[in-house]
Amino acid sequence: MKKYISIALTSLLALTMFSCTKKADIAGIEPKLPNLQLSSLGYQQSSPFSLTTVLQLNFGATAKVPVGKFTIEILDGTAVVSTVTFPSWSGNDASSTAKVVNHSISYILQDSNYPNVQVYSGSILLSLSKLNLAFDKTYSVRASAYSATGDLVSKMTQSSFFKTIPAPVVPK
């Protein structure tokens, strides 16, 4: 009998715990969110990469302010090997021309429950051949997102992010 009462009480407790719905306090949470924040940085391709690879980086970010430039730094240890600067979060990098696109960035705005927050899902195409990289090395990547005024910046670093393959062997 005790066993059945215990089961009934446990079931009742479980039903009351999981049958409730809780709504987020949007008005209370939104002011606490950062004005600009990179939230993710990654890729889906398989490493190591040849130096002819066009690497697609994916990033996520939130912003309560208009966004400005976006930079990607390629690091060998702590030394910056190459920097790619995008004047905005959509278009080509500063080194590209009308005829030659070296690197590009784009984004899609995601749905958000917060009326004053933009949620970005973006991608960056990096031509590894344009980045002064070496064969058989492991590189880190630092992404920096800037506000339109330039006074806010959010940085994210991924250590040992990707590896390049060894130099091809030339037959004698």
Q: Hey, what domains does the chain have and what are their CATH numbers?
A: 34-163 (2.60.40.10)
| Dihedral of alpha carbons 127, 128, 130, 131, sign | positive
Low-confidence spans in the chain with pLDDT less than 50: 19
Query: What's residue 111's pLDDT?
Result: 94
Q: Would you say 163 and 146 are in contact if contact means Cβ atoms under 8 Å apart? A: no
Query: What's residue 4's pLDDT?
Result: 57
Instruction: Work out the burial of residue 126: count CB atoms within 10 Å of its CB; fewer than 13 is exposed, 13-18 middle, 19 or more buried.
Output: buried
Q: Would you say 35 and 64 are in contact if contact means Cβ atoms under 8 Å apart? A: yes
Instruction: Give the span between the Cα atoms of 148 and 144, in whole angstroms.
Output: 13
Query: What's residue 22's pLDDT?
Result: 55
Query: What's residue 62's pLDDT?
Result: 96
Sheet of 153-163, strand order: 79-86, 67-76, 138-147, 153-163
Query: What's residue 29's pLDDT?
Result: 87
Burial 28-66 (b: 16+ CB within 10 A, else e): eebeeeeebbbeebebeeeeebebebebebebbbbbbbe
Query: What's residue 15's pLDDT?
Result: 55
Instruction: Work out the burial of residue 99: count CB atoms within 10 Å of its CB; fewer than 13 is exposed, 13-18 middle, 19 or more buried.
Output: exposed
Query: What's residue 17's pLDDT?
Result: 56
Q: Return phi, psi of residue 75, to 5°.
A: -115, 140
Query: What's residue 7's pLDDT?
Result: 65
pLDDT tens figures, 54-70: 999 999 999 999 999 99
Query: What's residue 148's pLDDT?
Result: 97
Instruction: Give the span between the Cα atoms of 51 and 134, in whole angstroms.
Output: 8
